[in-house]
C-alpha cells in the first residue's frame, strides 16, 4: 500500500544528496497507550544524536537513533 511505500522510502534513505532530506529530529512515545506514558525527543546536532526528556540528556549512536526513529510518533526533516 502507499503508506508502506512511503515509509520504506524514508527508512531506506541514508545520507542525502544535494536535493534530498535528512532526518533532523523525531519524537517517540514511551508508555502503554497514547493516554498514558511519556514523549521524548531525539535531535541530531553536529556531534551526533541527543535524546532528551524532561530531566535528562543522553547521547545516542547513529545505529540507536535509526532504530528508535522507526517507531517515531513524528519526524522532522531538513533539506
Mind listing the pLDDT tens digit for each residue in 37-65? Answer: 899 999 999 999 999 998 899 999 999 99
Q: For residue 5, what pLDDT band results from cuts at 50, 70 and 90?
A: low
- What average pLDDT does this structure show over 32-38? 85
The reported pLDDT for the residue numbered 51 is 95
Q: For residue 35, what pLDDT band results from cuts at 50, 70 and 90?
A: confident
- Higher pLDDT among residues 41 and 18, named by residue: 41
Do the Cβ atoms of 37 and 30 come closer than 8 Å? yes
Burial string for 63-73 (b: 16+ CB within 10 Å, else e) reads eebeebbeebe
- pTM for the whole thing? 0.73
The reported pLDDT for the residue numbered 8 is 62
Amino acid at each position: 500500500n502507499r503508506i508502506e511505500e512511503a515509509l520504506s522510502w524514508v527508512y531506506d534513505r541514508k545520507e542525502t544528496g544535494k536535493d534530498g532530506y535528512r532526518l533532523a529530529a523525531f519524537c517517540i512515545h514511551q508508555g502503554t497507550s497514547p493516554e498514558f506514558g511519556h514523549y521524548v525527543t531525539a535531535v541530531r546536532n553536529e556531534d551526533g544524536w541527543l535524546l532528551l526528556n524532561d530531566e535528562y540528556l543522553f547521547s545516542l549512536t547513529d545505529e540507536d537513533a535509526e532504530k528508535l526513529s522507526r517507531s517515531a510518533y513524528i519526524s522532522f526533516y531538513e533539506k
